[in-house]
Chains A and B, each alone.
Chain A
Amino acid sequence: MFELSKEGVEFVKKEMQRYETKRSAIIPALYKVQEENGGWVSPECVTYLSQLMDLPEVWINEVLNFYTMFNKEPVGKYHVQVCCNVSCAMNGGRELADHLCKELNIKDGRHSEDGRYTLSRVECLGSCGTAPMMQVNDKYYENLTKESAVQILKELP
């Protein structure tokens, strides 16, 4: 059974106070759960959160399913999100994603064989001026080339 840490619970409780309705605190709560659950939100996490926040499971699931920044399945140590929206696409974002798959040994387009990387093609991350770009876990890497991207990922601890 998943449970948030003491600080995690406190954080969620505080967020619930912050808005007019506690339903609005679902996004920050999901972020916290994802962080403490190893990068993804499992159905058990939803049930747990529904009890903690006293909200219907289905409301939490709606938010979880609406946003791509929440992962509905386990991800590798590094979740690589390559932007494939217009500015990045015009600057080679889609080719970059293909290239990373090859270099990182990602055969199903999702997970590397060693489980270290998970790759997602995502919509605009608001960094169009420095396209193409990618986000690795919480960090942005901009003005990428195929080579620099591979190097960045391989050099990660």
Chain B
Amino acid sequence: MLKCKINGVEVEVKEGTTIIEAFKIAGQKIAHYCWHPGLSVAGVCRLCMVEIKGQPRLQIACNTPVQDGMEITNQSEQVKETVRWGLDFHLINHPLDCPICDQAGECGLQDQYMEFGLYTPEMAEPKVKKHKVVDLGSKIVLDTERCILCSRCVRFTAEVTKTYELGIFNRGDRSEIGTFENKPLENNYALNTVDICPVGALTSKDFRFRQRVWYLQERESICTGCSTGCNIKIYFNEEGLFRIRPVYNEKVNGYWMCDEGRNIYKFVNKENRLLKAKKGRKGEWLEMEGGAAAKDVAHHFKSLDKERIALVVTGQFSNEEYEALFQFYKKNVGNDFVYHWINNKESFEDFDGLLLRGDRNPNTKGLLQKLEDYRYEQTWAHLEENLKAGKIETLIVAGPENPLWFPDLKEKVQQWGIQLSHLIWLSSAKVQAVDEVECLTWQIPLKTFFEKDGTYVNYQGLEQKSHRIATIVPGALSLSEAAHLMAGEEYKVDMAPILKGPKKNYYVHRRGYL
């Protein structure tokens, strides 16, 4: 271990630690653009200047290893003056279009300027004009004038995804970020470049111009997009959810997340939700509250033949919910016709080598464990046989939160609609096919991960807790609440504060346009 002093604070660090890392360990602030803990060191922005006692010249903290006994500061006038000028050089050709820039409010240039601004810019030369609104495909827009050439995005595509799309072309003050022949940047991790871009050069098409960031709140959660369970931050306000970004977790996702996972917020927002409970069949639906529908199921349950009921579960729910559901099933039905719906069989075992897994469920591990605990061992083939043979009349389905990854959804629902006499459909998602079934059906709206507490077990067997943040669909139940109510128990449904939902502004709610 090496001892050093950072702005007067004594810290011990491992051999090989760089000064910037020591600053982080000591909890001291340091300006930087190009350094990122998940990437190699470039040392190009020259903003992380520090003064080391006994060395006449300032050094960059990101590329200088700590030596034993070093006394380092970035509080001296010399350092501040140097950073001030460094920042001014970064701004020589910067277009200063903050008012129309989507990064405003979370921009490295703005933040540092508040602290190290020269406030009397001395550059009189005309600015070099570069390319604006460069279309990099379906996800990202590039503004090369705003780029400060930190090369983070280039290193990301070279070191993390190893797809090598981005490069720096030309030279000197004409240098520009770009892709060869303007090829689109479409890899499934591309939006991480938007996160790590310290300025507004790379912006996300999905998010840009939808909200000013200072109108958003952020809360941590767990991605339910696949069995990896990346740690995430959700950005939302009264109008709904707007974007998702990764949160560092060494054990799970490191600094990154995949682009598909960023889309899960769309299945939480009202547009894609089952908003009301419904009872009936094709063409004759009676709308009601979720709780009332669950109680109605409880009422109806008495008259059903228990030997002709079966339960279908997906890996989309939390441990607590499986427990409540299986308790309900054990007490109120008693048979062992419980089946695991594997949504995408062919690709279930896939892995893209980085984060994304073919198992597009947050809690398959937890479900398998619970099935084992309850000794539910039936196979899917058994269900199909029984359905065909007409041995099952009623199916309770704990269905998908995210219908996108259930390619067989429509086909299955249609088939059940013909084979069954009752369907009890529990899901947070709006599914067209369920509205068209011919058998007597209860559709009960469920809460999404955003609206409930729960534990998820990822593919490694790691338990992660997800906390409720707010309510999008009032009247939706968690699977546990639905189970208790269907059992006929008195049960108080608990709700987080309700978000009002989107304002009616057509332009604000169209996505994916430049």
Complex Cα–Cα for A58 and B170 (A): 12
Q: How many residues of A contact B (CB 8 A)?
A: 10
Chain B residues numbered 203-246 whose CB sits less than 8 Å from any CB in chain A: none
Q: At the interface, yes or no: B171 with Cβ under 8 Å from chain A? A: yes
Please give, as numbers and ranges, the residues of chain A lying within 8 Å of B158 by CB-CB distance.
56
Partner of B164, one of A43, A46, A59, A65: A59
Q: A66 to chain B: which residues have CB within 8 Å?
A: 169-171
Q: B151-179, CB under 8 A of A: which get 1 and which 0?
A: 00000001000001111111100000001
Closest to B179 in A: A58
Among B158, B165, B169, the one with the most A-chain Cβ atoms within 10 Å of its Cβ is: B169
Q: Do the beta carbons of B169 and A61 come within 8 Å of each other?
A: yes
Residue B180, interface by CB 8 Å: yes
Q: State whether the Cβ of A57 lies closer than 8 Å to any Cβ in chain B.
A: yes
> Are A58 and B171 interface neighbours, CB within 8 A?
no
B181 at the interface (CB under 8 A from A): yes
In the complex, which range does the number of interface residues on chain B fall in? 10 to 19
By beta carbon, the residue of chain A nearest B174 is A65
Asked if A62 is at the interface (CB within 8 A of a chain B CB), the reply is yes
Chain B 172-210 against A: per-residue CB contact (8 Å), 1 yes, 0 no? Answer: 000000011100000000000000000000000000000
A47 to B: closest C-beta gap in Å: 8
**A65 CA to B158 CA, complexed, in Å:** 19
**CA of A57 to CA of B180, assembled, Å:** 7
List of A residues within 8 angstroms of B180 by Cβ: 43, 46, 57-58, 61
Q: Are A56 and B169 in contact (CB under 8 A)?
A: no
Contact assessment for A43 and B181 in the assembled complex, using a CB-CB cutoff below 8 Å: yes
Q: Whole-angstrom distance from the CB of B485 to the nearest CB of chain A? A: 57
Taking CB atoms, residues of chain B closer than 8 Å to A61 are: 167, 169, 180
How far does the alpha carbon of A58 sit from the alpha carbon of B166 in the complex, in Å? 7
B181 with A62: CB separation less than 8 A: no
Complex Cα distance A10/B256, Å?
42
Question: How far is B158's CA from A116's CA once the two chains are assembled, in angstroms?
Answer: 42
A62 CB to closest chain B CB, in angstroms?
5
Q: Which 6 A-B pairs have the closest CB atoms?
A: A56-B164, A58-B167, A65-B169, A57-B180, A62-B167, A61-B180
**B: which residues have CB within 8 A of A?**
158, 164-171, 179-181
Contact sample, A vs B, 10 pairs, CB 8 Å cutoff: A43-B180, A43-B181, A56-B167, A57-B181, A58-B166, A61-B169, A65-B171, A66-B169, A66-B170, A66-B171
Q: What is A's interface to B at a CB cutoff of 8 Å?
A: 43, 46, 56-59, 61-62, 65-66
8 further contact pairs, Cβ within 8 A, besides A58-B180, A65-B169: A46-B180, A56-B158, A56-B167, A57-B180, A61-B167, A61-B169, A65-B171, A66-B169
